[in-house]
Amino acid sequence: MNTVIDLPDPAALSSAQQRGAQCVWCSAGLSNGTAHDLGPRLIDAHGTSALWFPRCCPTCWKAHQ
């Protein structure tokens, strides 16, 4: 299985969510022990491509699989 999960628009997220400190869906604070890595994504930031490392909490991970 290699399904790409639909993520929120990174432009609408807080900087904490964009750097993986908070869940991309519910903004819960994440620790390295519980966060689920969604894999790096390329985003278009003001005309330049940037790498984004979205992470989510276990609850949202289950809900979005």
For 21, the token pair is: 């400190």
Contact at 8 Å (CB) between 42 and 51? Answer: yes
Among 20, 25, 30, 54, binds Zn ion (CB under 5 A): 25
Measure the CA–CA gap between 26 and 31, rounded to whole angstroms.
14
Does 23 participate in binding Zn ion (rule CB under 5 A)?
yes
Nearer to Zn ion, 7 or 43 (CB): 7
* Residues between 32 and 51 with contacts to Zn ion, criterion CB under 5 A: none
Q: How far is the CB of 47 from Zn ion (least distance, A)?
A: 30
Backbone dihedral region of 39: left (phi > 0), alpha (psi from -120 to 50 degrees) or beta?
A: left
The footprint of Zn ion (CB under 5 A) covers 23, 25-26, 28, 57, 60
